[in-house]
Amino acid sequence: MDYEKFIFCLEGVPDVDNNVITQVVKNLEEIAIDHGIASIYKTCDTIEGLEESLNVLLYEDHNFKDYEIIYLVMPGEPNNICLHDYYYSLEEIAELFEGKMKGKIIHFANLKVLDLNDDEAQYFLDITGARAISGYGSTYNKIASCSTIDKAFFSLYQENDDITEVVEELYQKHYALCKLLDFRLYY
């Protein structure tokens, strides 16, 4: 099967100069091998690093249109990410991504809770131009979403462009895990 959708993963780490192979890297390698989904992986430890990585992708990568999932693996509090001990709200992230995410799905791993009301979700989507934002209502520590449910989500999305059908199928195939981690989609 010829896949044309790729994943751009940004992982928040304590220090970008410390080259450690994280579980996220291992999982992206498994996704590539098992499902044929290519990805670019970058780390960032500051908001400036996040913005720089995004700008390199936007303005220097000629395949940017093929990266349909922007996968953010960053710790934080509900509706906030934490980089270098500083918290950034989703409103700040939306402004950073302003107009740059047209048609993309912004997916957050379960290192932070994503709990948006309708207005907050619509604001994020309107400002960024994203097609959808997804994540989890639970940060259940014993299960990392990147090792299980995120792989299934990415794989299903490769096969079907209708994001609501993808989520329905995800719940059908992985109901207990989706409920435990409280998978959420805003579109």
Give the number of domains in the chain: 1
Give me the pLDDT at residue 142, please: 67
Mind listing the pLDDT tens digit for each residue in 102-117?
Answer: 999 999 998 899 999 9
Position 150 in a domain: yes
User: CATH no. for residue 136?
Assistant: 3.40.50.1460
Q: What pTM does this model have?
A: 0.92
3 state SS of 71: strand
Tally of CB atoms within 10 A around 2? 4
CB of 37 within 8 A of CB of 30?
no
Give me the pLDDT at residue 1, please: 42
Mind listing the pLDDT tens digit for each residue in 100-153?
Answer: 999 999 999 988 999 999 999 999 999 999 999 999 998 776 677 666 899 999
Position 155 in a domain: yes
d(CA 187, CA 184): 10
Question: Residue 34 phi/psi, 5° resolution?
Answer: -75, -35
Give me the pLDDT at residue 117, please: 95
**pLDDT confidence of 55, banded at 50, 70, 90?**
confident
Position 1 in a domain: no
Position 62 in a domain: yes
* Maximum Cα–Cα distance across the chain: 43
**pLDDT confidence of 76, banded at 50, 70, 90?**
very high
Q: Give, to the nearest 10 degrees, the angle between helix 149-159 and helix 163-173.
A: 130
**pLDDT confidence of 5, banded at 50, 70, 90?**
confident
CB of 112 within 8 A of CB of 135?
yes
Instruction: For residue 95, give its domain range.
Output: 6-186
Give me the pLDDT at residue 176, please: 93
Position 42 in a domain: yes
